[in-house]
Amino acid sequence: MLHMKHIDNTPSTPGKFKMEKSAYNRLRLHSSLAKLTFWSFVFLGLIFVFFFRSPSSSSHVPSDLSRRSLRSSYGGPNFEKRVRASAKIRSRNGISVLVTGAAGFVGSHVSAALKRRGDGVLGIDNFNNYYDPSLKRARQALLERSGVYIVEGDINDSALLKKLFDIVPFTHVMHLAAQAGVRYAMENPSSYVHSNIAGLVNLLEACKNANPQPTIVWASSSSVYGLNTKVPFSERDRTDQPASLYAATKKAGEEIAHTYNHIYGLSLTGLRFFTVYGPWGRPDMAYFFFTRDILKGKSIPIFEAANHGTVARDFTYIDDIVKGCLAALDTAEKSTGSGGKKKGPAQLRVYNLGNTSPVPVSDLVSILEKLLKVKAKRLVMKLPRNGDVQFTHANISSAQRELGYKPTTDLKTGLKKFVEWYLGYYVEGKKSAQ
Ligand SMILES: O=C(O)[C@H]1O[C@H](OP(=O)(O)OP(=O)(O)OC[C@H]2O[C@@H](n3ccc(=O)[nH]c3=O)[C@H](O)[C@@H]2O)[C@H](O)[C@@H](O)[C@H]1O
């Protein structure tokens, strides 16, 4: 009102008042029309957004990945049928397990072993290209033949995880999806945070919300012992001086596991794997690319510590690791919570799964030379400061006592099996090793 009065009584030029007033009225009419048009557009825009947005893009779905996944292959009766069939328990006292990273090295072996003994197994894997994805596809094809379906998706996709738990009341989760490799962390640090931290939290969120809550067994790493010098490494030793971001994310995973156990009553068992090797292994690991490069006649870098110090690893054969994983699943207690609420204290465990006999890297090369019948071109180099530690050695007394874990394969026997597989897969199979 005051505003109007002020305008009405303020002619700019004498004699022009009347005309100015009608011009002002026209102006007001125009501005009202403009406002009306503007708000109509806003309103229509809101209606458009409301009706045409994907139903899966509601607030609990965090990323484009989630939207894409639900729109495309996930969902529908055929998908649910495949998921249910794969997770179906076929033995008395069997368990139903969601295996993350099922197309990976350890994941594919564990999935196959569970399926063989009649457990229900559903895999999930994002098939990323950290190493040759065709090897992951070949593992997938093998599992497919034994009735294990691997859903192609990321553990960061909470809508997908929720959907899987809605379809199957998994009793257990075997969490093996991770960004592995100690040296690659300097090249791509965020992939470690994405998979080993954000992915783990996302998975634990899905597990804690599930009803019933599953029991979780997951892969930690020998690298958490970092720069420790006291050997063999025991679970009671300090783990607060990691030498790589990989190790730091695995250590963080152990603390995150503690939190979810404490707040939500999730039963959690972390397994500290010691340099796992064997058939269908990871091409980024030394024993694997040494084999490839020895056969190609390329030189191989062999690390040594200061003053010609030996670099050694407690190399552990895949079958021994698989037995440890299954024993951890079988001895784990149930989670105590339901639908996000803790009902009582739950089990929280961590075990070393190693071989207990460290072997110098130069000896590993000698074994490969004999098996391949080719002399290696050795290029001895100083251990780079990019994540490697000088040695690892597991004390496995806890796993022995509580899981009945007893490794039986020495490095020579295990590498023989690896080389047989390698030659069959790459040389006879005429595939190119990348
Ligand atoms: O136990 C683990 O938790 C980790 O094990 C594995 O790490 P590592 O034990 O470092 O295996 P890997 O790279 O095969 O090097 C083997 C040896 O070769 C030496 N090495 C390596 C490369 C090279 O060019 N030359 C060399 O001498 C090197 O110094 C080392 O002594 C997994 O990759 C990792 O994901 C994690 O699971």
pLDDT, residue 61, reads 33
Q: What's the chain's average pLDDT?
A: 88
Q: Is the CB of 313 under 6 A from ligand 1?
A: yes
Ligand 1 mean position to 361 CA, how many Å? 9
Confidence of residue 433 (pLDDT cuts 50, 70, 90): confident
Q: Is the CB of 311 under 6 A from ligand 1?
A: yes
| Model confidence at 56: pLDDT above 50 | no
Q: Is the CB of 222 under 6 A from ligand 1?
A: yes
- Ligand 1 pocket test, pick from 131, 176, 182 with the greatest ligand atom count within 8 Å of Cβ, gives 182
Ligand 1 mean position to 243 CA, how many Å? 13
pLDDT, residue 75, reads 80
Q: Is the CB of 112 under 6 A from ligand 1?
A: no
pLDDT, residue 246, reads 97
> Cis peptide leading into 212, omega within 30 of 0?
yes
In 3D space, the residue among 266, 258, 261 whose CA is nearest the CA of residue 239 turns out to be 258
Ligand 1 mean position to 108 CA, how many Å? 20
Ligand 1 mean position to 382 CA, how many Å? 14
Q: Is the CB of 304 under 6 A from ligand 1?
A: no
Query: Exposed, middle or buried: residue 19 (CB in 10 Å: 0-12, 13-18, 19+)?
Result: exposed
Question: Which atom of ligand 1 approaches the CA of 285 most closely?
Answer: 14
Q: Which residues pair with 379 in a beta bridge?
A: 301
Give the whole-angstrom CA distance, residue 75 versus residue 68: 12
Ligand 1 mean position to 383 CA, how many Å? 11
Question: Which atom of ligand 1 approaches the CA of 276 most closely?
Answer: 5
| Model confidence at 245: pLDDT above 90 | yes
Q: Is the CB of 411 under 6 A from ligand 1?
A: no
The model's pTM is 0.85
pLDDT, residue 429, reads 82
Give the whole-angstrom CA distance, residue 346 versus residue 106: 26
What is the SS3 assignment for the chain? CHHHHHHHCCCCCCCCHHHHHHHHHHHHHHHHHHHHHHHHHHHHHHHHHHHHCCHHHCCCCCCHHHHHHHHCCCCHHHHHHHHHHHHCCCCCCCCEEEEECCCCHHHHHHHHHHHHCCCEEEEEECCCCCCCHHHHHHHHHHHHHCCCEEEECCCCCHHHHHHHHHHCCCCEEEECCCCCCCCHHHCCHHHHHHHHHHHHHHHHHHHHHCCCCCEEEEEEEHHHHCCCCCCCECCCCCCCCCCCHHHHHHHHHHHHHHHHHHHHCCCEEEEEECCEECCCCCCCCHHHHHHHHHHHCCEEEEEEEHHHECCEECCEEHHHHHHHHHHHHHHCCCCCCECCECCCCCCEEEEEECCCCCEEHHHHHHHHHHHHCCCCEEEEEECCCCCCCCECCECCHHHHHHHCCCCCCCHHHHHHHHHHHHHHHHHHCCCCCC
- Ligand 1 pocket test, pick from 106, 220, 285, 379 with the greatest ligand atom count within 8 Å of Cβ, gives 285
Question: Which atom of ligand 1 approaches the CA of 315 most closely?
Answer: 9
pLDDT, residue 386, reads 80
Arithmetic mean of pLDDT, 90-114: 98
Q: Report, in angstroms and rounded to the nearest whole number, the Rg of the chain calculated over CA atoms.
A: 30
The angle, 0 to 180 degrees and rounded to 10, between the axes of the packed helices 286-296 and 361-372 is 40
Arithmetic mean of pLDDT, 257-281: 98
Contact 338, 213 (CB under 8 A): yes
Ligand 1 mean position to 387 CA, how many Å? 9
Task: Report the share of the chain in percent with pLDDT over 90.
Answer: 78
- Ligand 1 pocket test, pick from 222, 388, 396 with the greatest ligand atom count within 8 Å of Cβ, gives 388
Structure confidence by residue, pLDDT tens digits, 208-236: 999 999 999 999 999 999 999 999 999 99
pLDDT, residue 16, reads 34
Q: Which of 130, 192, 246, 264 is catalytic?
A: 246
Residue nearest to atom 8 of ligand 1 (CA): 275
Classify each residue of 59-72 as buried b or exposed e, where b means 16 or more C-beta atoms within 10 Å of its C-beta: eebeeebbbebbee
Q: Which residue has the higher pLDDT, 279 or 47?
A: 279
Q: Is the CB of 273 under 6 A from ligand 1?
A: yes
Q: Is the CB of 65 under 6 A from ligand 1?
A: no
pLDDT, residue 35, reads 64
Query: Exposed, middle or buried: residue 414 (CB in 10 Å: 0-12, 13-18, 19+)?
Result: buried
pLDDT, residue 311, reads 97
Q: Provide the 10 A C-beta neighbour count for residue 138.
A: 17
Ligand 1 mean position to 319 CA, how many Å? 19
In the chain, domain spans: 64-274+318-354+393-408
Residue nearest to atom 22 of ligand 1 (CA): 286
Confidence of residue 70 (pLDDT cuts 50, 70, 90): very low
pLDDT, residue 431, reads 83
- Residue 351 annotated as catalytic: no
In 3D space, the residue among 259, 359, 380 whose CA is nearest the CA of residue 308 turns out to be 380
Topology at the third CATH level for domain 64-274+318-354+393-408:
Rossmann fold (3.40.50)
Of the ranges 124-128, 195-199, 299-303, 342-346, which one carries the lowest mean pLDDT score?
Answer: 342-346
Q: Is the CB of 261 under 6 A from ligand 1?
A: no
Ligand 1 mean position to 210 CA, how many Å? 36
- Please state the length of the chain: 434
